[in-house]
Each structure stands twice: as C-alpha cells, then as structure tokens.
Structure 1
Amino acid sequence: MRHADWQERFAAYVGDRMAMPFDWASNDCCTFAAGAVKAITGADLMADVPAYDSALAAGRLIEDGGGLQALVTSMLGQPMSPLMAAVGDVVLLTNEGRDLLGICNGVNAIAPGPVGLVALEMNAASVAWKI
C-alpha cells in the first residue's frame, strides 16, 4: 500500500538519484526500482536479497531467480500489461538488447544510466507490476 504522501516521497527519491551514476549494488536497475518501491510504500524488497557488487554476481542472482521477470514477480506478484502502468509502478524494459527494471514516470520509464537517471520510452516495456 502506498504512503499517503507517496508522490512527494517518490519525487524526493528521484531528485536524490537524478545525477547518481550507475553502480552495481547501490544504483543499478534493481536497487533503483527497489528504492523507489521503498520510498512509495515503505517495503524493503532488497532486505532478503543476497549482496552483490558486480555484473557477474547480479547475473547469477537473476539466473538463480529464474530470470529478471520471474524474480520480480516473486516479490511483487503477477505482472500486468505495461499499458496499465501508472507513475511509480515497476516496469521491465529492454534497452540495447538487455532487460532492465525501471519505474514508470508517466509517459516514460526512468532507470539509472552511466551519469544519472535516463528516460526510456514505455513502448520498450514488456510487463509492469502495480505498486
């Protein structure tokens, strides 16, 4: 369930991450999405996730979870069409041939990039999860 002031919390979270570069385990797509969920709801999705600090370790964690979609589904429940996504919902996107998580921010999804948050078109999303 979202906090009553989730929009302000989400805006503050995004503002804090706006210029933060990508970093495994502190600002990758999974930690970014989980941080947004925590800001919006208070739920810590990463609490039981083993620590990782590299692409290899993250890849192993995702593979052990049955893939990124299966791993997120195990935490957030059944996905929905990305056409139903609203601001704050988690989305699974494909960018440059790689799956990644982002957060719906209206007409775009946002996710960590090399030098800060990047906006990706929602038409790159394959599924979404309601938050």
Structure 2
Amino acid sequence: MQRLEDWPTRLAEFIEARRERVFSWGDSDCCLFVCDAIQAMSGADPGARWRGLYASEKGARRVLRDNGGVAGIATLVLGAAAPPALAGRGDVVLIDTPNGEALAICLGSQLAAQGQAGIEFMEMRQAKAAWTV
C-alpha cells in the first residue's frame, strides 16, 4: 500500500478527529480504526470488504474467526508480520488488551488504539507484532 506524500499530516489529523469517538462494532472497533487510519494515509480503504458485515460482538467474532483473527486481518491487508521493533510511525501493530488481541497504529514511541471511550495511547513496548503500511 502506497502512502500519500502528506501522510504524516493526514495521520495526525485522523488521530485528532477520532480522539473521542467511542467504540462501536462494525464502525469504530480496532480493525476498522486501523483500516480508517490506513485510508487516511493512503487514500485506499483496506476495510471495504468487511464494512457492513457486522454490527455486534457476535458478528465481529464470526468475521475474525473466518479471517484468522485480528492478526490474520492485518496479514490479509498488509502481508507478513515483522517484529514490533521494526515498526515505524503509521505502521500497524498487534497488542494484548483485557478483551483479547487488538490492532493499533504506531505513532513512534507510542501507539494509538481504539478504546471504549475514544483513542487510548500506550507505549510501543506493548506491541507483539507489526505490519508495514
């Protein structure tokens, strides 16, 4: 996936716009948050194939099961995973949460993930895997 020339500005604007957007299955969950960030940086929507397929946790679990979980979705969109130490700003990372694995966006030394009440910021050392955008 090719990033647009002004992707750093687009990513910063995306994060700011989504800062207080609450979690919602099929709209503002971890996978679609990351797909929306990629779309902001590249202009291409890697989440198009999953949009509208679910609107509940049960539906999301079906989509995740059918696509190899959150890591499987990242691999379908971006190719093979790499160690998190290789992640750069704008790349996708895998993290553990109290509710299971989730995808997030690397911001440098921090990462941004969709939380229940908006974006949650964590240290990059929490990442378990990474995918280059």
The question of a shared fold, defined as TM-score above 0.5 by the shorter chain, is answered with: yes
Query: Normalising by the residue count of structure 1, what TM-score does the alignment of the two structures yield?
Result: 0.94
Report the CA distance between 1:101 and its aligned residue.
0.5
Count of residues paired in the alignment: 131
Q: Which residue of 2 aligns with 1:89?
A: 91
Alpha carbons 2:31, 2:70 under 8 Å: kept? no
SS of structure 2 residue aligned to 1:102: strand
Cα distance in 1 for residues equivalent to 2:29 and 2:63 = 14
Cα distance in 2 for residues equivalent to 1:68 and 1:114 = 17
Report the CA distance between 1:34 and its aligned residue.
0.2
Runs of 4+ that moved beyond 4 A = none
Identity fraction in percent: 36
Query: Normalising by the residue count of structure 2, what TM-score does the alignment of the two structures yield?
Result: 0.93
Q: Which residue of 1 aligns with 2:24?
A: 23
Report the CA distance between 1:97 and its aligned residue.
5.5
Unaligned runs of 5+ residues in structure 2 are none
What RMSD in Å do the two structures reach over aligned CA positions?
Answer: 1.2
Q: Which residue of 1 aligns with 2:39?
A: 38
Alpha carbons 1:2, 1:41 under 8 Å: kept? yes
The residue type equivalent to 1:34 in the other structure is: C
